[in-house]
Amino acid sequence: MSDTSCISPRSLVAEFIGTMGLIIAAIGSIILTTVVWGATDMPFVFVFINAIAVAFILFALIETFGPLSGAHFNPAVTVAFTMSGECAPKKAVCYIAAQLSGALFGVLLLGIFFFEHLSGLFVVSEIPRSEISLILSEFFCAFMLVAIIFGCVRGGSNKTSLAVGLFVGGMILATASTMFANPAVSIARIFTETACGIAPLSALYFAMANIAGAVAAAILFGWLYPKKPKEETCETTVLNADNKA
């Protein structure tokens, strides 16, 4: 049996920094294009730039931190790995705490970076996103994200980080909700006044849809790709397949 409960300080720092970097990509690219450049009347421009920024940076973050923590950067992904038995509950709680802390710190940094363009460091968004179509979109996005991760890792791909980055960037451009698919991202976006913000209640709905989608994918793809018994390291990594290359 592999030790899925081992929690190392390095893995928690990796989850903190990785999630912080993801938040800076997801929100910072919107602040730059809408608040600084003034592209508020051209949503296709800032959504496209957001998709590119998130895809590129997510790829780099997974490559960097995958060997340390598994590069979850997402409470829904951590829940999925917990469902599959690859992450112990205690470890999952620590990971999620690091992810949420990193997300909020990322928003704080953005407030400092763009201080002269914003009205405050933490401004609660009032943008409602509670339509059923958006919630279903978030369920689907989280479901497919976990499906991509499980399929690549257990299918033996050596391009997991690239697949995840391209998938997320593409789904930002292809879905009604522009793919939050991450409760940490939803919580962070509560505290931004930009077009990517989300009202607190809507963020709760998104987070619930994300967790539900991740759990559904973990169940289905745990069956499609049964875990092969083998010796594993302490950290459950989405890049295990990459190490075979």
The low-confidence residues of the chain, meaning pLDDT below 50, are 1-3, 231-237, 240-245
Instruction: Give the pLDDT score at 108.
Output: 96
Give the pLDDT of residue 39: 74
- 208 assigned to some structural domain: yes
Q: Which SS3 state, helix, strand or coil, does residue 114 take?
A: coil
DSSP secondary structure string for all residues of 9-43: HHHHHHHHHHHHHHHHHHHHHHIIIIIIS--TT-H
User: What pLDDT is attached to residue 242?
Assistant: 47
3-state SS of 57-89? Answer: HHHHHHHHHHHHHCCCCCHHHHHHHHHCCCCCH
| Element spanning 164, H or E | helix 160-174
- Split into its structural domains, the chain has a count of 1
Contacts of 70 (CB under 8 A, 6+ apart): 11, 81, 87, 235, 236, 237, 238, 239
pLDDT at 241: 42
Range of the domain at 158: 9-244
Q: Is residue 4 part of a domain?
A: no
Amino acid at 234: C
Supply the pLDDT for residue 232. Answer: 44
Answer yes or no: is 162 within a domain: yes
> Can you list the alpha helix ranges (DSSP code H) found in 175-244?
183-190, 200-224
Q: Residue 201 sits in a domain of what CATH number?
A: 1.20.1080.10
- 3 within some domain: no
Do the domain assignments include residue 63?
yes
**What is the rounded (10 degree) CA torsion for 171, 210, 135, 44?**
-30
Does residue 2 belong to any structural domain of this protein? no
Domain annotation covers residue 94: yes
Rg (CA), the chain: 17
Q: Identify whether 151 is part of a domain.
A: yes
Read off the amino acid at residue 203.
A
